[in-house]
Amino acid sequence: MTVNPAHTAPWTAPHASGAVDATVHVPGSKSVTNRALVLAALASEPGWVRRPLRSRDTLLMAAALRAMGVGIEEGVGPDGTGETWRVIPAALHGPATIDVGNAGTVMRFLPPVAALADGPVRFDGDPRSYERPLNGVIDALRALGARIDDDGRGALPLTVHGGGALDGGPVSIDASSSSQFVSALLLSAPRFNQGVEVRHIGSTLPSLPHIRMTVDMLRAIGAQVDTPESGGEADVWRVTPGALLGRDLTVEPDLSNAQPFLAAALVTGGKVVIPDWPLRTTQPGDRLREIFTEMGGSCELNERGLEFTGSGAIHGIDVDLSEVGELTPGIAAVAALADSPSTLRGVAHLRLHETDRLAALTKEINELGGDVTETADGLQIRPRPLHGGVFHTYDDHRMATAGAIIGLAVDGVQIENVATTAKTLPDFPDLWTGMLGN
């Protein structure tokens, strides 16, 4: 794990002078936007993605689909309000080169799409992307009839030699390191000749809400999906081949990106309102209502959105985050400021995310005077008085927002490369200072 030396101008995290009282409009969900783009690209007719997130990860996804022949027109929606992208499906083709950046959704969701293209599609990305596992997708696609050159790495860079179609059928995978392996196969499966039957054979399956999100979005555009939740076999998902409909899909606010703002209410004993919080959602970030309430806040979901209020006290927590691992950095930051110890469990897979998040959180919080210990599958956090210093991000957006949370209560915290938040949360520094009234 290395610090990027190119980012030499740390951002001084604002220190809260009192309780926050703000309404924060959180941009759209990256997870929903990128799934919607893939599904619209594979549909049998044009569709729309309304209120998409415009961030590094989503722009990489749009550019990748365009490289394979898909039309994506950016503008206002059919009703003349709000940004909407019109997606025009086309015959997928190579040769193409795709830059995945360090986006898990791009590097994992698009090789199955590339297998449907006519011609070679090369995938490359940031140096860190080479370290992130892709074997679950690569091995599964080979079993389903695809030809892939990866020089045996099970990782980037690689080339998918698309044949214009893919047989599909039954396949067993170990998705213990990422639920995205399952979602990747399900998203393209309606276009496979035999659909797909994905059987997970690993010991654990993290981030199940993200698989449920994939299934719900597939069904919304006409796919037939049989899941464990709908009476199917445990750890088996079946998708029937068939045409996908062009639809007008609206992207929900990114609830995981709402986390630092809700944490601000908790840390400062203030109140934050997040408009348009959905009444029903598969986003993992919805668990924040429960987790942050247990840590000392209270919330109400009403016509204004989600209203979250801090009590002025922060309590430690013992929590299994296996289904909502992406929330771990923000929870760890709040836990470092609590009045009692915390245990965060079920997140060993975070060692394979944008960076090794468990090692990074331990190092950065401890360098500010904290007492964090890694466990086999999580973190033990014993609160201690913290002091200022540089908080490194390792090019990881959630590390940057975790540092900003600590900075609310600890004067002199400087975030190295706060610009990495543009991966999923554009304009974070402005949103953050605006929340504080600065």
What are the tens digits of pLDDT across the range 374-398?
999 999 999 999 999 999 999 999 9
Q: Is 47:246 a contact under the CB 8 Å cutoff?
A: yes
Tokens, residue 406: 């600590």
∠ at Cα 421 (420, 424), nearest 5°? 120
Strand extents, DSSP E, 100-194: 118-124, 147-149, 158-163, 169-173
Question: Omega of the bond prior to 329 within 30 degrees of 0, cis?
Answer: no
Q: What H or E segment, with its residue span, contains residue 225?
A: strand 225-226
- State the pLDDT at residue 5: 42
pLDDT for 232-255, tens place per residue? Answer: 888 999 999 999 999 999 999 999
Confidence of residue 9 (pLDDT cuts 50, 70, 90): confident
Listing DSSP states for 246-293 in one string gives P-EEEPPB-TTTTHHHHHHHHHHT-EEEETT--SS---GGGGHHHHHH
Confidence of residue 203 (pLDDT cuts 50, 70, 90): confident
Confidence of residue 353 (pLDDT cuts 50, 70, 90): confident
In the predicted model, what is the mean pLDDT of the chain? 94
The pTM assigned to this predicted structure is 0.88
Q: How many CB atoms lie within 10 A of CB 369?
A: 14
Q: How many CA atoms lie within 13 A of 301 on its CB side?
A: 10
Amino acid at residue number 362: T
Length of the chain: 438
**Torsion sign over Cα 146, 147, 152, 156:** negative
290 among known catalytic residues: no
Q: How far is CA 119 from the centre of its chain?
A: 30
Q: Is 188:145 a contact under the CB 8 Å cutoff?
A: no
User: Which of 197, 252, 323, 326 is labelled catalytic?
Assistant: 326
